[in-house]
Amino acid sequence: MINRKVELFRGDIFYFTSSPLEDIHAYRYIPDGVLAVSEGKILATGSFVEMKKCFSDASVTDFSGKLLMPGFIDAHIHYPQSEIIGMYGRQLLDWLHEYTFPAETMFSSPEHADYIADFFVNELFRNGTTTCMAYATVHPESVNALFTAASQYNMCMLTGKMLMDRNAPEQLTDTVERGGTESRTLIEAWHNKGRNRYVITPRFAISCTDKQLSEAGRLHRDYPDTYIQTHLSENKSEIDQTLSLYPDCSDYLEVYERAGLVTERTVFGHCIHLSEAESHRLASAGAAIAHCPTSNLFLGSGLFNMREANRLGLQTTLATDVAGGTSFSMLRTMGEAYKVQQLNAYPMSPFESLYKCTLGSARVLKLEDEIGSFKEGCYADFIVVEDAVTPSQQIRKDCLQRTGKWDLENRIFGLQILGDDRNIAATYIEGKAVKFKFITRE
Ligand code: GUN
Ligand code: ZN
């Protein structure tokens, strides 16, 4: 500890140590605590009184009364869709053609990609998200732009070039060969460079031929520590179209299985309409599901059943899926996840939701030794959260305090149901505060 500069951050410390589904007490909550940070990493957590004695020379940044917790991890989001958030009407396949593909076409311009990447990273930080697994577009420039923007802050970014060789406008399609070559070049350039990680990204079965999906599987075998992301069983028409494009497959998951894409490093978006057989196969492969409630409601896709997923031993995370999703805020996402699960008669606990946006997500991404908690040695990627920034939040807090019920569960649940970007007082990456910007095009 000698000669190392240590900084203390004072506040109410909260983080998970394991899954609340296995042990409801698997967290640490230290009211008036301290997060000790050195060289961008977590050194220790403890009570303010004790830690001040241990680190008497350390500077103290005082966030007394606010929650300090690990930054959110959004495991499924589309950065090129930032501009088309909240566009009216339509279900998935029409929405893709009407809004998404035109927006993604713009990324042949590196200037546009840089501008949106800068906007996107800033918007993540403003909402308290410190890591995400993002889709780019088919253009390699779009990947370069996002990794470059993230690298300016040393944030942990996972992304990759979209693979699409059919059923999309010509400007958005590649070929099996080009998709493979461009992906390899990007993997060599970015994967494991700093905190960047590459994600092999076939968009979904409708936009990829079986040859292209097989090429994606080959890429993963050649670079086994990359990730895979794609969409699965989001929308009924999507499922019908997929099965008619792949008549030899008995179900949607089999399309990806044949290509070697169902692995423990794969994150499947949505998975709302899986059969029980598909769920079992996903669980035994150790693949993960990103549940995206604001998107599923907005696009009318359906109600993901979290209770069933838990029962079958599936790994799940929560994610925004902007711009099918309608908010960058993981607090809003947790609020909508609660409502979706209410419709499944499963009033999901606020701890389960928060776990699936922090340590649970880190585990899905095999990054739990780096992010998602305040375990010693993890990166000091954390957020400062204010409980009451609106009159409704304040009056609720007053009521709970007056009646002696201002406990951790009520505190977190209030943030999930009423909170958003306004509750994020600060975001830190590697112990450094990120300055929020309001980005507009000149
Ligand atoms: N399925 C294939 N592409 C997309 C996309 O961009 N958004 C969503 N929500 N689903 C998809
Ligand atoms: Zn998506």
What is the atom index within ligand 1 of the atom nearest the CA of 234?
A: 10
Q: Distance from the CA of 62 to the center of ligand 2, in angstroms?
A: 38
Express each pLDDT in 265-292 by its tens digit: 999 999 999 999 999 999 999 999 999 9
Q: Which of 28, 31, 46, 14 is nearest to 6 (CA)?
A: 46
Q: What is the DSSP string of 352-409?
A: HHHHTTTHHHHHHTT-TTTSSS--TTSB--EEEE-S--SHHHHHHHHHHHHTT---HH
pLDDT at 140 over 70: yes
Q: How far apart are the first and last CA of the chain?
A: 48
Q: How far apart are CA 273 and CA 213, in angstroms?
A: 21
Predicted pLDDT of residue 437: 78
**Cα 71 to Cα 185, 192, 381, distances in angstroms:** 31, 21, 6
Burial of 401 (0-12, 13-18, 19+ CB in 10 A): exposed
CA of 84 to the centre of ligand 1 (A): 13
The pLDDT score that the predictor gives to residue 3 is 63
Ligand 1 and 92: CB distance under 6 A:
yes
**Of 224, 157, 217, the residue nearest 193 (C-alpha):** 157
**Two tokens, residue 154:** 């040393």
What is the C-alpha to C-alpha distance for residues 119 and 427, in angstroms, rounded to an integer?
16
Give the closest ligand to the alpha carbon of residue 295.
1
Ligand 1 proximity of 298 Cβ (cutoff 6 Å): no
Ligand showing the shortest atom-to-Cα distance for residue 296: 1
Instruction: Say which ligand is closest to the CA of 268.
Output: 2
User: Does ligand 1 come within 6 angstroms of the Cβ of 325?
Assistant: no
Q: Establish whether residue 76 lines the binding site of ligand 1, counting it when its CB lies within 6 angstroms of any ligand atom.
A: no
Dump pLDDT digits (tens) for 354-390. 999 999 999 999 999 999 999 999 999 999 999 999 9
In this structure, what token pair is assigned to residue 388? 């009451």
pTM listed for this prediction: 0.98
Query: pLDDT tens across 423-435, in order?
Result: 999 999 999 999 8
- Ligand 1 atom nearest to 204, measured from its CA: 2
pLDDT of residue 231 exceeding 70, the answer is yes
Residue 190, ligand 1, Cβ within 6 A: no
